[in-house]
A and B are shown apart, each in its own frame.
Chain A
Amino acid sequence: MGDHKSYEESIKGVYFGLGLLAVVTLVEVGFSLFGKGHILGGTGLHEMPVTVYIIGLILIGLSIYKAYFIIFEFMHMGYEVKGLAMSVLLPVILLVWAIIAFFMEGDYWKDNRDRVRELNERSLEQGSEESTSEVLDLYEELNKG
């Protein structure tokens, strides 16, 4: 794709890339539709909780592979000096943790909200001292951070 390959070779490489990205995208769509029960929905496989996680991981993995291919081949990063690649890729790779951490935080918000709602309902229903003190304990815990 650069000066290191002949013209014919690099043209071949481009159309190989087109085929690769097209196939990976179609596979992704296939997995996504399978996960929602549109393809092979009769088997009931997509309803198993473990399938949801596996399909999620496959989709994320394939997307990262597509990103890798675009950066290293189409954007030519694979043929640049190592220092350039590192100075661009390292900061972005460090972001991955920020993304994962905030997803976990979002999940925690939901759990917390559910817990507070449940305890509030319980104390309203029963009006008992026990459940009220449970709610107070929870608020104290939350305030402590």
Chain B
Amino acid sequence: MTEETDILIEEEHGHDDAWSGAKEPFKASYGKLMMWYFLVTDAFTFAGFLIAYGALRFSSPTWPVPDFVFSTAPFGIHGMPLIFVTIMSFLLIISSVTMVRAVQEGHRENKRGVMFWMLLTILGGAGFLGCQAWEWNNLISTEKMTVTRNPFGTHVEDGVYLGLTGEPSAAEDDAFYAGESYLIHQAGHVGHHGGEGHELTAEEAFLEGANEEIDAAGISMAAIPEAGLDFPGFTLDEGGFIHRKFMVGEGSDQLPGQQSFGPKAFGALFFWVTGFHGFHVFSGVVFLTIILINVGGGVYVARKNGYEMVEKIGLYWHFVDLVWVFVFLVFYLL
């Protein structure tokens, strides 16, 4: 019976070794094919995150404006939207290109070339991780964003902030428009906005005044009541955050209001999705390092397959870059 089936199949397909196991499906080696399928499953995971992000963002009445949230860079630079994250994108693009060069040198069995370009790739990945660490540190320590707290709110109406006395402020940058985002500061933490060498904006001047007022009142941050403390120009909440008061609307229709926290999901999604991507970069750097050491030890010379291992880690590394294209799109550009 088996023999007959074999013969039948042989007749149908017209060659002898179709079932002998020596043929590679899709003319790709086992390792490369499986790397592709691993990447497909990984793409599904990231698509799940993208779906969560999109559905929650669409369902929120407001969303923090990215070029307001991501406008800080090291060395005291602020108010420069998207500059730092563009540098991060370039690091990943460049490291992707050096990875292609490493694979090409591998095809030529040029060990020194592979090592040189892989080393540059690792440096690019490590540089990206360093930038991300700085970005996270800035968001967590300076701007006080956590997975459950988003200090970046957005105005839904045009209006004007109140000064410390409780009267509408006359300063030009104390007027705001619907769709503009703001950062709720924690008392005593003026952070990067308090840097020397530039004139204080109206907001910075207000915060400095508010901090002095809080200090003068001798308020201990641990002893703020649950309902918060009311000042003429702002409310101090339980966590020590300064919510500025404002007036919206025109003439007799003016209504008072105060800054409120932005959608919680923003912090949770940002840290989770960029964190998961960063974890991919990190594990990529680890595997690249291991394979670099193996290349140096001559492991792949003996295999005589054109440094296929370098090609496989290359596929993974390009995928990391690919995911960043979309993380960059949805978190920073749109």
Residues of chain A having any CB pair with chain B under 8 Å: 1-3, 7, 10-11, 14-15, 17-18, 21-22, 25-26, 28-29, 31-33, 36, 38, 56, 59-60, 63, 66-67, 70-71, 74-75, 80-81, 83-84, 87-88, 91-92, 95, 98-99, 102-107, 109-110, 113-114
Contact = CB atoms under 8 A, between A and B. Distances in A.
22 contacts: A3-B107, A14-B97, A18-B93, A21-B96, A22-B90, A32-B67, A38-B81, A56-B334, A66-B325, A71-B318, A75-B315, A80-B28, A87-B26, A92-B44, A99-B50, A102-B51, A102-B55, A103-B51, A106-B55, A106-B56, A106-B59, A109-B59
B90 A25 contact: yes
A99 B28 contact: no
B31 to A, nearest CB: 13
For the residues of A in contact with B, the DSSP-based class is helix
A29 B28 contact: no
B96 A107 contact: no
B284 to A, nearest CB: 14
B305 interface: no
Contacts of B333: 28-29, 31-32, 59, 63
Contact of A18 (B43, B97, B108): B97
A113 B93 CA distance: 42
Interface stretch (B32-40, B194-202, B219-227, B271-279): B32-40
B192 interface: no
Contact of A70 (B104, B107, B321): B321
Contact of A36 (B51, B67, B99): B67
A62 to B, nearest CB: 9
Most buried by A among B43, B81, B329: B329
A95 to B, nearest CB: 5
B277 to A, nearest CB: 15
Contacts of A33: 67, 81-82
A70 B318 contact: yes
A74 B86 contact: no
B46 to A, nearest CB: 10
A98 B25 CA distance: 30
Contacts of B147: none
Contacts of B332: 32
A41 to B, nearest CB: 12
Contact of A7 (B55, B108, B328): B108
A110 B60 contact: yes
Most buried by B among A60, A70, A109: A70
B189 interface: no
Contacts of A56: 334
A33 B71 CA distance: 11
Interface string B131-150: 00000000000000000000
A21 B99 CA distance: 15
A95 B44 CA distance: 8
Contacts of A81: 26-28
Given A22-B90, A70-B96, A75 B47 contact: no
Contacts of B81: 33, 36, 38
A73 to B, nearest CB: 8
B89 A25 contact: yes
